[in-house]
Amino acid sequence: MISVPVSLFKAYDIRGKIDLLTPDFAYWVGRACGAIAIERGLTNLALGFDGRLSSPALAAALSHGLVEAGVQVFDLGLSCTPLLYFAALKHAAGSGIMITGSHNPPDYNGIKIMLGGVTVAGEALQALRQRIETESVPCQASGAAQALSVTDEYYSTLQQQLPLVQSVARPLKIVIDCGNGSPGAVAPTLYRLLGCEVIELYCEVDGLFPNHHPDPQVAENLRELQATVLAQQADLGLAFDGDGDRLGVVTRSGKIIPGDHLLMLFACAELAQRTGHILYDVKSSRAVAQWVAQHGGTSEAIPTGHSHMKRRLRETGALVAGELSGHFAFAAWGVDDALYAGAKLLQQVAAGLDLDTELARFPVNHSSPELQIPLDESGHALVEQIAQQAHFPSAQQISLIDGLRIEYTDGFGLIRASNTTPVLTLRIEADTIVALQRIRQELAAAIAPHPFPDFEEK
């Protein structure tokens, strides 16, 4: 029996520190993925890796396992997740594996798997682990690996799908900050091909991330982007995480647009073309549903996680799905590609949308940032305990879609367990400061004796 670290198998992907996520481990993941793929008649599989120092060795070992399982591997080499998804869908019947630690620290890495167009997550990921442990990984001699480049094809496809109608005399001036992540090898060229004047920040791929961490959800990581947009009088700034599936945006006035407000911008543009459905994750503002309804659409809350988002997008035929964290997937593209989402936003700006003016039209509320409490215990067990024992005196209803989303007539509170790290995630939104404090008190009582974190209201 092969022993593998159970802790590496998260809800949506495989992820952890590189002292556990080793090349030997990656080899067995390759063998198991390959065996499952062959059983499903999926003989081709795309493989890429991000710019982390540990990624090339992990990719080489995983490729070796895939080949021994009988798979034809299309090796993209250094890549970003949008390119991997594109290669998988165009050249490998929707099957691909990306070696990436995403927005985690440099000593972490991960493995994202898609087979037949479906993310391997949840029970399917645990079944893969069991295949390894029980050595149900037959070896065949028919596999092989070959290099594949899809970058030019990706560029031309986005140019065709997302043309920017803008003045030749004054193209959009944008600043892009890739935080030394792997999107830096792609994003500058893409947006120049779309006709933009591009100012680059940290687009040199460096797995040590020497300038700032590549997580656009953290405001501190966007400070230099904000300053550069203002100094250069740019139309907007775009930021990407370490593998290019999360988007952050700064307006020309230097304001950071939260992920749920970005979704509202995307929803408005999509609903102007046709009536349809919008998906938002449980961390997102109540304003999303209100805004969508005002624009003639329908909406629903979904669990947080890119695998949930893409699955529900397919099931419902929704126009667009988004998360507070900056993951977005559009019906016409089907995967969470931040470079694509950035181009969709540029289309709106090129057509005359003033982001600051549009954002000023959005409902005003008071909210906390996403708050996290480190845990030594199981976050999911703790949330279940809170659900059984806690009392929320002024609540209107409680949703159990993903943790506890406690709805009030004047706001909401969220208590959920992270599916990627051992933390309890909290968020509050309210119509007034008084309501914000009341909801905070009810959530603080529910999670006691864990202390409720201090925060600055947004």
- Residues 225-251: pLDDT tens digits? 999 999 999 999 999 999 999 999 999
Instruction: State the CATH number of the domain containing residue 378.
Output: 3.30.310.50
Q: Residue 399 catalytic?
A: no
Residue 332 gets the label, from left (phi > 0), alpha (psi -120 to 50) or beta, of alpha
What's the domain count of the chain? Answer: 4
Please check whether residue 161 lies inside any domain of the structure.
no
Mean pLDDT computed over 27-38: 96
Provide the terminal-to-terminal Cα distance of the chain, rounded to the nearest Å. 52
Please check whether residue 112 lies inside any domain of the structure.
yes
Q: Chain-wide mean pLDDT for the chain?
A: 95
Does the pLDDT at position 351 exceed 90?
yes
Query: 130 with 312: CB under 8 angstroms?
Result: no
pLDDT digits (tens, 9 = 90+) for 123-158: 999 999 999 999 888 888 789 999 999 999 999 999
Does the pLDDT at position 20 exceed 90?
yes
Last residue in a domain, options 256, 276, 305: 256
Last residue in a domain, options 114, 149, 184: 149
Please check whether residue 164 lies inside any domain of the structure.
no
Mean pLDDT computed over 181-202: 97
Mean pLDDT computed over 52-67: 98
Which pLDDT score, from 0 to 100, does residue 3 have?
Answer: 84
| Nearest by Cα to 124 from 11, 2, 8, 1 | 11
pLDDT digits (tens, 9 = 90+) for 7-19: 899 888 999 999 9
Q: Are residues 50 and 142 in the same domain?
A: yes
Q: Are residues 123 and 184 in the same domain?
A: no
Please check whether residue 1 lies inside any domain of the structure.
no
Q: Are residues 187 and 322 in the same domain?
A: no
Catalytic annotation, pick one of 102, 182, 285, 325: 102
pLDDT digits (tens, 9 = 90+) for 79-103: 999 999 999 999 999 999 999 999 8
Q: Are residues 267 and 312 in the same domain?
A: yes
Mean pLDDT computed over 44-50: 98
Band of residue 402 on the pLDDT scale cut at 50, 70, 90: very high
Residue 13 structural domain: 6-149
Does the pLDDT at position 457 exceed 80?
no
Mean pLDDT computed over 31-52: 97
Mean pLDDT computed over 394-405: 94
Q: Are residues 392 and 293 in the same domain?
A: no
Instruction: State the CATH number of the domain containing residue 142.
Output: 3.40.120.10
Mean pLDDT computed over 33-60: 97
Q: Are residues 199 and 228 in the same domain?
A: yes
Q: Are residues 279 and 382 in the same domain?
A: no
Q: Are residues 136 and 35 in the same domain?
A: yes
Query: 181 with 52: CB under 8 angstroms?
Result: no
Phi, psi dihedral angles at 250 (to 5 degrees): -120, 130
Which pLDDT score, from 0 to 100, does residue 168 have?
Answer: 60
Question: How many Å is the maximal CA-CA distance in the chain?
Answer: 68
Last residue in a domain, options 210, 233, 256: 256
Please check whether residue 195 lies inside any domain of the structure.
yes
Q: Are residues 251 and 266 in the same domain?
A: no
Residue 179 gets the label, from left (phi > 0), alpha (psi -120 to 50) or beta, of left
Helices 151-161, 81-91: inter-axial angle, 10-degree rounding: 90
The CA-based dihedral angle spanning residues 396, 401, 403, 406, taken in that order and rounded to the nearest 10 degrees: -10
**Cα dist from 96 to 78, 137, 404, whole Å:** 14, 18, 33
Please check whether residue 200 lies inside any domain of the structure.
yes
User: SS3 of 371, please?
Assistant: strand
Mean pLDDT computed over 65-72: 97
Q: What is the rounded CA–CA span in Å between residue 330 and residue 342?
A: 12
Q: Are residues 238 and 285 in the same domain?
A: no
Q: Give residues with Cβ within 8 angstroms of 340, minimum separation 6.
A: 82, 158, 162, 330, 333
User: SS3 of 366, please?
Assistant: strand
Burial degree of 170 (CB within 10 A; 0-12, 13-18, 19+) = exposed
DSSP secondary structure string for all residues of 211-274? SS-S-TTSGGGGHHHHHHHHHTT-SEEEEE-SSS--EEEEETTSPEEPHHHHHHHHHHHHHHHS
Please check whether residue 166 lies inside any domain of the structure.
no
Helices (H), 40-80: 55-68
Q: Are residues 263 and 251 in the same domain?
A: no
Phi, psi dihedral angles at 328 (to 5 degrees): -140, 140
Q: pTM for this structure?
A: 0.95
HSE on the CB side for 407, CA within 13 Å?
13
Band of residue 162 on the pLDDT scale cut at 50, 70, 90: very high
Please check whether residue 453 lies inside any domain of the structure.
no
Does the pLDDT at position 177 exceed 70?
yes
Q: What is the rounded CA–CA span in Å between residue 322 and residue 336?
A: 9
Q: What is the rounded CA–CA span in Å between residue 28 and residue 137?
A: 8
Strand order in the sheet with 328-330: 298-302, 277-281, 320-322, 328-330
Query: 387 with 400: CB under 8 angstroms?
Result: yes
Q: What is the rounded CA–CA span in Å between residue 420 and residue 24?
A: 22
C-alpha torsion sign, points 299, 300, 301, 305: negative
Q: Are residues 268 and 344 in the same domain?
A: yes
Does the pLDDT at position 169 exceed 70?
no
The CA-based dihedral angle spanning residues 297, 302, 308, 314, taken in that order and rounded to the nearest 10 degrees: -20
